[in-house]
A and B are shown apart, each in its own frame.
Chain A
């Protein structure tokens, strides 16, 4: 059964986020040969339409308004609901990002629809569109279907492979005019704390520190390693509770769940609560002084040693590798 599926393209710092291409790939599966319609919302975003089409969208609807320059749930909900009203799709896919998490329940509430959040895979079996999603922060998984109405899901970054970019693809780009009114929550200020690094949830490489980093300064060698690998820095609850770093870096059952290609745990013992946030990473490296540390049980590779010796050596070795390749 073919379906029309709408995908919201998410823009950050003037570019489309990778998760939007992953959402298009998920939408293609849901569509079963039907049309995938990209949506862009913002104050000046139509130039990005081609990116959605090159990654698999058949056409794009653009809603532009200066009131949509910054994300607000009121503004974006009005824009997206107007598109849904025009397109009447059978499916809707967003990225499970800060924006997607904030906006999707609003849309689902308005439409009285189901919503499958944080999907890591989608397939069609036996006529059903089946989403896989982690529960208990990845300690278990569930397979879920929508039983009534719109097939609506958000997809976790880094899990569904995007389609290969095809610059020969073309499609219609149409503007939709929407009157944006009654914004009940206004953003006064955006404080960029994360801008110095790569966003944790989308990072391909995460270098994470635990109590073993011993101080806020102790994160410095981790930051240097992250910079060489183009990765992000994370932390365990122990490191956050000890005030070595901001809670926004915390990875675990409370905190963020990450699934990078490479996770390097430095001075992290591996409490269950932390493992829940990272054990589905593709490759895990553990560096810890204690050979009995729990983290070695989930690690693909381990080095027993002091992180303050090992991490700088690793940074140097990766630098050499980058020069050679």
Chain B
């Protein structure tokens, strides 16, 4: 099977966010594989181990994403592709990224494409489905289970806490929800092997794309931090009285019940 994973490098979930010069300050921040993309990588490896084939992990971004691609290779992916847009794209949006990925994937005869259901930074969840639409293949988002039998696929997806069991077929794009699997940590031999696995670097030119072809349809005009919340009141006294006071405060002061 020809399996592709769409991966994004993101801020670590434990990072605090600060802004300098109107942009998110990246100095000294830890970066990780987007947690939802980790599920996608793990699932891709499991599908390959069960069915044979090759897992290729792709990322659109800067040279710095090489580190996360190497981690994916150390987990067990076979090949990595970095589409480096650092020199060509400024202010790209989900249209941009999806267009680039679809252009790369269009002649790859992918059987299965996986991604996270959302990136924890931008948080739009658009890129996966957009790529599927551009490639004209079906997709299922927020999946928690994937079973493949030949070209028939049965998928369970999370729908706001309920689940749907869906029957579809390859080629297919799916986006991973938490609960799909337990992503493995790279092993030491895995890390050693990853150094020798192929990591291809491409630019827009290599995909016959011009900057105009991928120009964003939306633009961020301001980034700001939410107003800092002031610590509220910690109640005191007998527990019974505290509870009574709290209910009164919620009723008369905060007016939420």
Contacts and interface: CB of A to CB of B under 8 A. Distances in A.
Interface of A: 73-74, 97-98, 101-102, 104-106, 108-110, 112-118, 128, 130, 133-149, 184-195, 199-201, 204-205, 229, 240, 246-250, 252-255, 257, 261-262, 271-273, 276, 279-280, 282-285, 291, 296-305, 309-310, 313-314, 317-318, 321
A147 B98 contact: no
Given A135-B121, A283-B250, A296-B234, 11 more contacts: A98-B160, A115-B217, A136-B123, A139-B16, A247-B179, A254-B35, A255-B178, A282-B256, A300-B254, A313-B239, A321-B257
Interface of B: 11, 13-17, 19, 24, 35-36, 93-95, 98, 120-134, 138-142, 144, 154-155, 158-169, 177-179, 215-226, 229, 231-235, 239-240, 242-244, 246-247, 249-251, 254, 256-257
B57 to A, nearest CB: 20
Contacts of B160: 97-98, 194, 199-201, 248
A317 B243 contact: yes
Contacts of B14: 271-273
Given A200-B161, A254-B120, A280-B226, A108 B95 contact: yes
A240 B249 CA distance: 31
B147 to A, nearest CB: 12
B161 A194 contact: yes
B176 to A, nearest CB: 11
A245 B227 CA distance: 32
B242 A305 contact: yes
B180 to A, nearest CB: 9
Contacts of A304: 234
**Which of A130, A144, A279, A280 lies at the interface centre, i.e. has the most chain B CB atoms within 10 A of its CB?**
A144
A247 B178 contact: yes
Given A135-B223, A301-B235, A110 B133 contact: yes
4 residue pairs, one from A and one from B, having the closest CB atoms: A114-B217, A194-B161, A109-B133, A105-B129
Main secondary structure of the interface of B (DSSP, over half): mixed
Contacts of B16: 139, 272
A105 B222 contact: no
B122 to A, nearest CB: 6
B94 A130 contact: no
Nearest to B128: A105
Contact of B162 (A190, A285, A297, A305): A190
A284 B246 CA distance: 12
Contact of A187 (B95, B166, B251): B166
